Structure 1
Amino acid sequence: MRRVLLLIVVLLSAWTLTFGQGAKKTMKECVDIALENNLRIKRSVYNVETFRANLMQAKGAFLPSINANGSYGENYGRSLNPVTNSFITRDASSINVQLNSSITVFNGLRIQNTFRQNKRDVESADQDLLKAKNDVILNVVTLYTNVIFNQELFENAKYQLNSSQQLLDRITKQVNAGSLAMTNQLNQEAQVATNELNAINQENALNLSILQLKQAMQLPASEPLEVVVPDLPLEDLVLEQNAEAVYQIALNNMPEIKSAMLKMESAEMALKANRGSYMPRLTFNAAATSNYSSLVNKDRSIDNGVFTSAPFAYFGPAPDLNNPPGNNVYLISQGKTTIPEKYTTGDQLSDNLFKNLSVQLTIPILNGFATRAAVQRSIINREIANITIKETQNTLRQSIETAYNDANAASRSYGSSLKAVNAQQEAYRMNQQRFEVGALNIIEYQISGNDLFRAKSDLTRAKYNFIFKKKILDFYQGKPIDY
């Protein structure tokens, strides 16, 4: 039973140790987490949605506007009878309804140019979003590479510390046996302390690089994070494209260049739209109105189609009452039929319906120089957009030239560092043999070990610097960054 409990405790301890450190993450997983959590990207997403709303509004400007109005009122005291147009002292209720529609036929192509402007604004915002994602990707890749680099340097420092500690143990035994002087042990103890300090510094650099990677991923510092060290075979040290060729390719691939060009086109469309304000505006309008009043909501008379005639006047000499003349004037009138039903709301609204169609032409003559000022601002914005294009192109060129020079220097440094490591390894091997037979003192042996450690560190730095800079150049050419 005690063995079973002991086994359970060991398994739980191993489970806690394994999962407490957190699962290792690849570079792609780190990039995905950063893209999901980055606030700048979220802000850019909402910026795109804002421009899409503006585009939807610009599309709606092509459609007619339709508005319906209605009102209900209670009148007390003296009121106007809408049928007889006479005043009457009586409480009454009234209903008024109205439907209006208007469509712009021509306004100097402002609607069309505003639509084109908003369309380019949406496309530019999409490119800005892609640029924000690219910045996050490059930042995470840089920090991820730094973690791998510092991790390898830390492993080298631990190896050097372990080697110096083993040598100290060996020297200590020889000093105790009387075959070596005490100064050899003291010198080696100093070397162990130096290597221990170097290991601590490398560990701090590794922890700092991991912390920076967590911050780029928007993760708390307390969350465990380990990275997968990928197999990074060193590629051909020859760069396939020069800086100018990479720049020409990047001009067609980089979203910041596309965004700047689209903003320039948007400014041009805004200028055309504002110039359209100088032109006349033609609008077609339609309206329908009706009303109801309770004053006429009672019995009413309507024409029944029966016509009657009655003498109304005569012309000629004075009439003889005993012998009326035959030149009388008769008044013909149509008969009326009384409807006992009340004049309901629906009937009144139907009978009182009024329709109207109109065309409105507005010619701008003077509006306080508002149109002129808007055009001037549009011209200035277009010139600023043009300057932004040149600034973006210059920034891109400088970044590519810097990355190319760094990659070229790293390529040469790697070749030199590789030769140095090979030479230092052979020298260290020979010095180790001489030290073991007593032909080399401890100081010279330590210097040989330190030289080998520095050569390996320089080789590691040159290796990762070249790989990363070459990946950056591939990124500018539209190739994905993947390890």
Structure 2
Amino acid sequence: MKRIYSLIAAAILLVVTTSAQAQESWSLQKCIDYALKNNIQIKQQVLNSEYYTNQLGQAKNNRLPNLNANFQNNTNFGRTVGADNTYLDINSNSTSGSLSSNITLWSGFTLKNSVKMADMDLRSTLEDLQKAKDDMMLNIAASYLEILFADELVTVAEDLQKITQLQIDRTGKLVEAGSLAKGSLLEIEAQFAREELNVVNAQNRLQLAYLALYQLLELPSTESFKVEKPVLPEIGANMSLMNTMDVFKNAVQIRPAVKGAEFKLESARAQLLVAKGNMMPSLSFGGNYYNFYNNKYTDYSGNKIAFSDQIKSNERYGFGFTLSVPIFNRYQAKTGVSNSQIQVENTELQLQSTKNLLRKDIEQAYTNAIAAFKRYVANQKTVISSKEAFRYTEEKFNVGMINSVEYNQSKNNLSAAQSDLLQAKYEYIFRTKILDFYNGKTIEL
């Protein structure tokens, strides 16, 4: 039976190994490039920027003159006045056409300010697009580091299990020789079972970390890959971080969230000028041309008037200026100004809130990085002492000076210290990457 289980385990291991070898290896940069190209939210932001590009183009085109043509054909039945001023019962068909053009010469600078508002809206949208890309890059970096962390936890759990397996073999021989009681072997075998569960839990955590990354990339889990394991920076006691205020001063100048909020404020101010312009008179210039033909028109002799003669006789054209002065419009213009002023004040608060949130994020990342660094340094010492304590405990256990409970406790302490060290390590790396990112550096591992 044991041989059958061994064959099944070997077959599963072979399949997993073959699958892993067949999987493509992706770097952090490849993950980021794929997400920026395929993520749905980013695609929506791209479409949004294209919409505001069209809005800006239309705002500029609104300064051009318009040109419209109208054609009309009517068929009339019943009594109508003839050329001799008598009523006749006839049917007639008439055709008319006109051309008209109009251009705004001045309207309280509403056209100019509308262009500025549309330009600011577009710039704000482009910054929103960049912010969506930045957020995606940070999320992918966090997910990527979580995979590396989970993978190392699997290695730690497997290494501890291997040590326990060696101890089971050694203890079994001592039990057979009568040097140790069988209870010691049973306790270590129970520890092996617990560590086997730890390995499974670590593997599940790794699988879930991969799943989170696949979902960020909008990639089905069936199209899986393995991440590349980069050479991570060494964490030493001489490492230092930039002051949070220095990072904030740089970040507030370059981060798209702040720049987008600034453009929104400029747009709101332009909207206020448009609203004020609507309270002013407007001046426009226009021209028109009109012509008419009726198939029943006759001269005083009763002869039908030819089409060419009617076209020459019926044409009308002209041009002129139109001055429109708003006098009373149910307070719509006044309400528009008031609402626009409220919007300006609201966007000013939004800009300040964005800056405050950025400062808080930087301070939080800095504090977390410092705390992670301190935990890493402390855990380094803990791991070293735990390894030495376990080595000493293992030697005493092998000669029967301590029982298996003390042995397992020492081993568990080593496992916990190694896990805490890894967690502090990856926490520190991620927080420092956030600070570098806020400071204008690209995310690299």
Q: TM-score, normalised by structure 2?
A: 0.90
2:368 maps to 406
Q: Deviations over 1:184-205 (max 9, x none)?
A: 1122112112211222221222
1:149 maps to 149
Aligned-partner residue type, residue 378 of structure 1: S
Change (3 A) 1:472 1:62: same
- Give the alignment of 1:450-469 within 5 angstroms: 450-469=412-431
Give unmatched runs, 5+ long, in structure 2. Answer: 1-10
Secondary structure in structure 2 of the residue aligned to 1:278: coil
Give unmatched runs, 5+ long, in structure 1. Answer: 1-9, 302-339
1:35 maps to 36
Aligned-partner residue type, residue 322 of structure 2: Q
Distance 1:466 1:24 in 2: 25
Secondary structure in structure 1 of the residue aligned to 2:111: helix
Q: Which has the higher helix share?
A: 2
CA drift of 1:479 comes to 0.6
2:382 maps to 420
Secondary structure in structure 2 of the residue aligned to 1:366: coil
Secondary structure in structure 1 of the residue aligned to 2:296: helix
Distance 2:190 2:337 in 1: 77
Q: Which moved more, 1:264-273 or 1:85-94?
A: 85-94
CA drift of 1:142 comes to 0.8
Distance 1:105 1:226 in 2: 64
Contact 2:20 2:226 in 1 (8 A): no
Establish whether residue 68 from structure 1 lines up as the match of residue 81 from structure 2.
no
Change (3 A) 1:56 1:79: farther
2:224 maps to 224
CA drift of 1:343 comes to 5.4
Distance 1:354 1:400 in 2: 72
Establish whether residue 377 from structure 1 lines up as the match of residue 346 from structure 2.
no
1:48 maps to 49
Establish whether residue 59 from structure 1 lines up as the match of residue 21 from structure 2.
no
Distance 1:345 1:429 in 2: 115
Change (3 A) 1:418 1:300: farther
Aligned-partner residue type, residue 473 of structure 1: L
Aligned-partner residue type, residue 53 of structure 2: R
CA drift of 1:80 comes to 4.9
Distance 1:16 1:343 in 2: 97
Contact 1:113 1:273 in 2 (8 A): yes
Contact 1:287 1:355 in 2 (8 A): yes
Distance 1:482 1:259 in 2: 25
Secondary structure in structure 2 of the residue aligned to 1:285: strand
Establish whether residue 442 from structure 1 lines up as the match of residue 443 from structure 2.
no
CA drift of 1:423 comes to 2.6
Decide which structure has the larger Cα Rg and report it: 1
Match of residue 354, structure 2, among 372, 381, 392: 392
CA drift of 1:97 comes to 0.7
Secondary structure in structure 1 of the residue aligned to 2:224: coil
CA drift of 1:52 comes to 1.7
2:4 maps to none
Aligned-partner residue type, residue 166 of structure 2: Q
Secondary structure in structure 2 of the residue aligned to 1:97: strand
Distance 1:300 1:41 in 2: 77
Distance 1:467 1:451 in 2: 24
Distance 1:280 1:52 in 2: 30
Distance 2:431 2:85 in 1: 90
Q: Deviations over 1:362-386 (max 9, x none)?
A: 1111110011111111011111101
Question: How many residues are aligned here?
Answer: 432
Change (3 A) 1:429 1:71: same
Contact 1:234 1:463 in 2 (8 A): no
Aligned-partner residue type, residue 330 of structure 2: G
Distance 2:20 2:147 in 1: 21
Contact 2:107 2:283 in 1 (8 A): yes
Q: Percent identical across equivalent pairs?
A: 35
Change (3 A) 1:300 1:206: farther
Distance 1:200 1:209 in 2: 14
Contact 2:180 2:400 in 1 (8 A): no
Contact 1:300 1:343 in 2 (8 A): no
Aligned-partner residue type, residue 206 of structure 2: L
